[in-house]
Amino acid sequence: MGIGILQHINIRTGDLTGTVKFWEEAIGLKDGDRPNFQFPGAWLYSGDEAVMHLIDVSGMDETALTETGCIDHVAFAAEGFEAFKTQLKAQSYEFEERIVPGGRLWQLFVRDPNGVLCELNFEVATEAA
């Protein structure tokens, strides 16, 4: 028995277009190949990995979840702290900036159209080099 890395996150959304736009523009994921399921959605990639699965519930008898339940946030390792800040400001996304106690990580927090909080973590040693 064993466990590997987290493979993907799934978001049920009533705004597929806006959600794809956010994760592509603000975070840098790429909309890519997705199996031909019998329901609409999208898979967003980080490199070769489909890390974000989206299900479009706008045409279903189901509703999108407007709260994230007990999940607080999704976190990604990132590079280019200042570039991300500039990009988020230019796209008018509100974000919060933090320094982890001890000073090893800089963080940015931004919400997607569904209220999902995204945490971006930047290694200070790499960013300051």
pLDDT of the residue at 2: 80
pLDDT in tens, 4-24: 888 999 999 999 999 999 999
CB 118 within 8 A of CB 109: yes
Confidence check: pLDDT of 52 > 80: yes
pLDDT in tens, 55-73: 998 877 776 666 677 788 9
pTM of the model: 0.89
* Rounded percentage of the chain residues whose pLDDT exceeds 70: 93
